[in-house]
Amino acid sequence: MVILIFALHVLFVVLDANHHNGFVRAIYMLAKGLVLGLGDVFTPDDAVLGVVMNYALAALIYAVVGQLIIRALRRR
């Protein structure tokens, strides 16, 4: 679910979605809260590229940590 929120946020940024739309704003706020400080790891000159790279990194970390937790729980 978190990765879906990140994907939607990136999609809205890339497509320059209307920031006044309630759904777009809700996704932005959720993504900003869930990124856990990883939203500014990469700072390229292109701001859109920065969003794509940073949120992709955050999604990758969530996926890896999630898989590690799942494996640990299955071993019990």
60, 66, 1, 46: CA torsion to nearest 10: -20
Q: Tell me which residue range forms the domain holding 65.
A: 2-74
Span 34-76, pLDDT tens digits: 999 888 999 999 999 999 999 999 999 999 999 999 999 998 7
The predicted pLDDT at position 29 comes to 96
How many distinct structural domains can be found in the chain?
Answer: 1
pLDDT (average), residues 29-38: 94
